[in-house]
Amino acid sequence: MRHIWTLIIFLFLPLILLAGDAAGADEISYTVKPSVWQEGDLYFLAAEGATNLPDKSVLDITFTYRFPGGDNDRYLDYKRCLVSGGIYQVRLGPFRSKPPAGQYLFRVAFDPDRQSDVVRKYLEGKYRSREALALTESLTVGKSIEEAAQERQRMLSIIKKEGLTLKAIFDDIKAHVPEYSRTADIKSLRRWSAATTAQLEALVRGILLEDELRVFEMVTQAKASIENSAFLLKSFLQKQESILALREQPPVDTDEFNRKLALLDEDIAGLYKLTDKEVTKNLKELGIFSLDKQVLLGLLKKIEGTITRAPENESLKEVDKSAMMEQIVALSRNLPDIFYDQLHQLVAEVVSAIKGNQPMTKQVKEVILNRIKTFRSEIEGK
Residue-wise pLDDT for 261-292, tens only, equals 788 888 888 899 999 999 998 888 787 766 67
121-145 tens-digit pLDDT: 888 888 766 788 999 999 989 887 7
Beta bridge partners, 84, equal 87
Q: What is the mean pLDDT of the segment spanning 53-71?
A: 86
Q: Is the pLDDT of residue 21 over 50?
A: no
Per-residue confidence at 81, pLDDT binned at 50, 70, 90?
A: very high
Q: Is the pLDDT of residue 1 over 60?
A: no
> Which CATH number characterizes residue 133's domain?
2.60.40.10
> Which CATH number characterizes residue 337's domain?
1.20.120
> Is 80 contained in some domain?
yes
Predicted pLDDT at 6: 45
Q: Is the pLDDT of residue 337 over 80?
A: no
Q: Containing domain of residue 115, as a range?
A: 33-143
In the listed set 143, 160, 194, which residue is the last one of a domain according to the structure?
A: 143
Predicted pLDDT at 338: 66
pLDDT, mean over the chain: 83
141-190 tens-digit pLDDT: 988 777 888 888 788 878 878 888 999 999 999 999 888 877 678 889 99
Beta bridge partners, 36, equal 45
**Residue 339 to residue 347: CA distance in whole angstroms:** 13
> Is 25 contained in some domain?
no
Q: 109 and 49 in contact (C-beta within 8 Å)?
A: no
Beta strands in the chain (DSSP E): 33-39, 42-50, 58-66, 73-82, 87-95, 102-110, 133-141
Helix crossing, 254-286 with 217-248: angle to 10°? Answer: 160
Do 175 and 263 have their domain in common? yes
Q: What is the mean pLDDT of the segment spanning 39-62?
A: 94
* Among the ranges given (7-11, 129-133, 218-222, 234-238), the one the predictor scored with the smallest mean pLDDT: 7-11
**Residue 172 to residue 321: CA distance in whole angstroms:** 44
Q: Is the pLDDT of residue 55 over 80?
A: yes
> Is 16 contained in some domain?
no
Q: 106 and 75 in contact (C-beta within 8 Å)?
A: no
Predicted pLDDT at 64: 93
Do 86 and 163 have their domain in common? no
In the chain, DSSP finds a helix count (H) and a strand count (E) of 11, 7
* 378: Cβ contacts below 8 Å, ≥ 6 apart: 157, 160, 339, 342
Beta strands in 52-160 (DSSP E): 58-66, 73-82, 87-95, 102-110, 133-141
In the listed set 259, 286, 313, which residue is the last one of a domain according to the structure?
A: 286
Q: What are phi and psi of 106, to 5 degrees?
A: -120, 110
Per-residue confidence at 5, pLDDT binned at 50, 70, 90?
A: very low
In the listed set 84, 108, 143, which residue is the last one of a domain according to the structure?
A: 143
Q: 247 and 261 in contact (C-beta within 8 Å)?
A: yes
Predicted pLDDT at 42: 93
Do 255 and 327 have their domain in common? no
Q: What type of residue is 327?
A: Q
Predicted pLDDT at 195: 95
Q: Is the pLDDT of residue 120 over 70?
A: yes
What percent of the chain has pLDDT above 90?
Answer: 31
Greatest Cα pair distance, the chain, in angstroms, is: 123
> Is 376 contained in some domain?
yes
**Residue 363 to residue 372: CA distance in whole angstroms:** 14
Do 120 and 138 have their domain in common? yes
Contacts 24+ apart (CB under 8 A), 189-192: 189/244, 190/241, 190/244, 190/245
> Is 9 in a helix, a strand, or coil?
helix
Beta bridge partners, 137, equal 106
Do 44 and 118 have their domain in common? yes
Q: How many CA atoms lie within 13 A of 24 on its CB side?
A: 6
**Residue 279 to residue 359: CA distance in whole angstroms:** 49
Helix %, strand %, coil % of the chain (to 5): 60, 20, 20
Q: What is the mean pLDDT of the segment spanning 345-352?
A: 82
Q: Is the pLDDT of residue 329 over 60?
A: yes
Do 325 and 279 have their domain in common? no
More reliable by pLDDT, 355 or 226 = 226
Beta strands in 249-297 (DSSP E): none
Predicted pLDDT at 78: 94
Predicted pLDDT at 155: 85
Q: What is the pTM of this model?
A: 0.61
Q: What is the mean pLDDT of the segment spanning 294-321?
A: 87
Do 305 and 326 have their domain in common? yes
Closest CA to 265 of 235, 244, 234: 244
Predicted pLDDT at 24: 38
Burial 333-347 (b: 16+ CB within 10 A, else e): eebbebbebbbeebb
Structural domains counted in the chain = 3
> Is 237 contained in some domain?
yes
Q: Is the pLDDT of residue 321 over 50?
A: yes
Per-residue confidence at 364, pLDDT binned at 50, 70, 90?
A: confident
> Is 321 contained in some domain?
yes
Do 188 and 274 have their domain in common? yes
100-114 tens-digit pLDDT: 888 899 999 999 988
**Residue 181 to residue 315: CA distance in whole angstroms:** 65
Cis, peptide link before residue 94, omega less than 30° from 0: yes
For the chain, what is the radius of gyration of the CA atoms? 33
